[in-house]
A and B are shown apart, each in its own frame.
Chain A
Amino acid sequence: DSGVTQTPKHLITATGQRVTLRCSPRSGDLSVYWYQQSLDQGLQFLIQYYNGEERAKGNILERFSAQQFPDLHSELNLSSLELGDSALYFCASSQSGRINTGELFFGEGSRLTVL
């Protein structure tokens, strides 16, 4: 158990819909990262938050957005869903400060299926 909690574990929805994925980082971790894992793309970095502020952005689509709340939990919002958005979405947290050391603790992921 990494200490990172993600909900829901599985989600099935239709194209055009909107979903929200939730992540609670490990106790004390201020940094939260979101990754997308699909069969053909591997693990792709989406976005990082540090103590409530956006820290870095990766290959995140404009249809996707995220935020980190004062209690440090984070949500990833995916809208206007397309078939190609079907993937595993991982949240990770880190005990490092603003500078990323690469030592991340991953949750079990949320598997999104878009039909």
Chain B
Amino acid sequence: GQQLNQSPQSMFIQEGEDVSMNCTSSSIFNTWLWYKQDPGEGPVLLIALYKAGELTSNGRLTAQFGITRKDSFLNISASIPSDVGIYFCAGLSSGSARQLTFGSGTQLTVLP
């Protein structure tokens, strides 16, 4: 089946630093999404990207849909303690019964 390679697996950064994480796939996706999961909670949608090359921002978060449709990255600027959590990329392929394929997640720790 389709697989997403998400990196890095974990990150430890200082408060105020910028963060970058990415996802790559051997398959093409028509939609890329980024979710965040806080401890004890379900994933929450951060950003959705629908078009190759699209760059979308949501506050301090910026994500891009790669031109090849096989990759996406997420940047977080000026990190704060509440950015701690697991960030998942997810790809959605074409087809009538398409479903999300999730990456393995990036565990982000923000140090004060």
Contact = CB atoms under 8 A, between A and B. Distances in A.
Chains A and B bind each other: yes
Contact of A106 (B33, B43, B48): B43
B40 interface: yes
B40 A102 contact: no
Contacts of A104: 43, 45, 100
B42 A102 contact: no
Contacts of B96: 98-99
B90 interface: yes
Contacts, number: 59
Interface stretch (A12-20, A42-50, A70-78): A42-50
A42 B97 contact: no
Contacts of B41: 108-109
A100 B100 contact: yes
Contacts of B31: 101-102
Interface residues of A, number: 25
Interface of B: 31, 33, 40-45, 48, 88, 90, 92, 96-105
Contacts of B90: 102
B24 to A, nearest CB: 15
A103 interface: yes
Contacts of B103: 42
Given A102-B48, A102-B90, A102-B92, A42 B42 contact: no
Interface in A79-109: 90, 92, 98-109
Given A33-B99, A100-B97, A101-B48, 10 more contacts: A4-B42, A42-B102, A48-B97, A56-B99, A90-B43, A92-B42, A99-B98, A100-B92, A102-B100, A109-B41
